Amino acid sequence: MDRILVTGGAGFIGSNFVHHVVANTDAHVTVLDKLTYAATQESLDGLPADRVELVVGDIAEPEVVEPLVAGVDAVVHYAAESHNDNSLEDPGPFIRTNIVGSFTLLEAARKHDKRFHHVSTDEVYGDLELDDPKRFTEDTPYNPSSPYSASKAGSDHLVRAWVRSFGVRATISNCSNNYGPWQHIEKFIPRQITEVIDGRRPRVYGDGLNVRDWIHTEDHSSAVLAILERGQIGETYLIGADGEKNNLEVVQAILRHFGRSADDIEFVRDRAGHDRRYAIESGKLRHQLDWQPQYQDFDAGLQATIDWYVANEAWWRPHKDAVEASYAAKGQ
C-alpha cells in the first residue's frame, strides 16, 4: 500500500493516524477533509510535504471522492460528525456525512477495487449497566441510542453489505473513547484539562459514574494500521486498551496531575441520553493480529495529554470562550 487516502485526516483521531503512518511506513498519504470546526490544518504541521497532501472537500460529493479513490491503494475512513450533543440538536449533518458520505466512498472503492477500512465507534452497541461484568464484543447486537451512534451503525451496516453484495475488500473497527493531542476542547478530557489550566473547577455530568473505556489515540492508530495491513477482509475488530474509568475518576486524575484537591469539582446537569457504561473486549485484535497498546497505564497517557495541552495553548485558546458559552447555555 504505497498510497493511502485518509478521510477526516485533519481531525483529532485521523490526524494522529496520519502522523503514525508517516512515522511507521513509507506510504504517501492524501488527506481528504472538509475542515469543519473539529478539524485543523495545524494538526498536520511538521509532516513532509512530499508524503502528505491535504485536499479540502466533502466525502458526500462523488466528484470529489472518486478521483482521489482511483489514485490510491487503500482508503481509511475516519471522517465523521461525532459529537453526541450536536446530533441531538441537529441530526442532519450526521446523516449526510456518516451515512451518505460512507456510501459515496464505498461506491468509489467498489468501482476501483480498492482496499477499504471503516473506522467506527463502540457507541453503536448502546450501553452496559454499571454492575454488568460483560464487555462489548464483535458479536454484540447493535443498540444505538443517539442520532450520532445510529448514523455510525448505519454506516457499519453499509460496509458489511458492500462486502457481501459487491465484494468490496473492507474491514471495520469499533473503538472505545480516544484521548490525546489535537482533540477539540468540546470533548470531555480536553475540556476538563483546559478548565483546570484556566484555574476553574472541572465539570462532571450528573453523578459522575458514567464509565468510558479510554484509549490513547496513538494506540488506536497502531491498531488501525495493523488491521489495514493484516486484517481479514469482511471482519470486524474491536479496539480497546482496558481503560475503564468513570468520569469522576478521570477528573480526579486530572486534578491530581495539577496538584489540585480531588474534590475541587463542579457537578452539572447530566447530558441528554447519557449512556451509562462502555467496555471493549479486544481479544480478537490482540490474538489474531498480535497487537498490544503502548499506553496500558492510563495515568501515563493522561500526563502526556496534559503536557500537550499545556504546551499548545495557542491552538485551543481561540476556541475556549465559545465552547464554554455553548455549555453554559445548556447548564453544563
Measured CA angle at 328 (ends 189, 265), to 5 deg: 50
- Closest alpha carbon to 271 in 136, 175, 148: 148
Is position 84 within any domain? Answer: yes
Is position 275 within any domain? Answer: no
Looking at this protein, which amino acid is placed at residue 201?
R
Other Cβ atoms less than 10 A from the Cβ of 145: the count is 16
- Ramachandran bin of 41, using left for φ above 0, alpha for ψ from -120 to 50, beta for the remaining angles: alpha
Residue in 123, 156, 218, 324 annotated catalytic: 123
CA dihedral 140, 187, 7, 221 (to 10 degrees): -70
CATH assignment of the domain containing 74:
3.40.50.720
pTM across the whole model: 0.95
DSSP-assigned letter for residue 131: T
Is position 277 within any domain? Answer: no
Asked if 123 is an active-site residue, the reply is yes
Residue in 125, 148, 278, 309 annotated catalytic: 148
Whole-number pLDDT of residue 152: 97
Q: Are the C-beta atoms of residues 302 and 257 closer than 8 Å to each other?
A: yes
Is position 126 within any domain? Answer: yes
Is position 22 within any domain? Answer: yes
Element (H, E) at 84: helix 84-89
Whole-number pLDDT of residue 85: 78
Whole-number pLDDT of residue 105: 98
pLDDT along the chain (332 residues), means of 10: 97 97 98 95 96 98 98 98 85 96 98 98 94 94 95 98 98 96 95 97 93 96 98 98 95 97 93 87 97 94 97 95 91 86
DSSP-assigned letter for residue 297: S
Is position 122 within any domain? Answer: yes
Is position 151 within any domain? Answer: yes
Main-chain dihedrals φ then ψ at residue 51, nearest 5 degrees: -120, -15
Residue in 81, 107, 122, 127 annotated catalytic: 122
Is position 82 within any domain? Answer: yes
Whole-number pLDDT of residue 42: 95
Q: β-strands 170-175, 236-239: how paired?
A: parallel
The domain of 84 spans 3-178+216-239
Asked if 148 is an active-site residue, the reply is yes
Domain count for the chain, please give it: 1
The DSSP code sequence of 260-287 is --TT--EEEPPPTT---B--B--HHHHH
Asked if 138 is an active-site residue, the reply is no
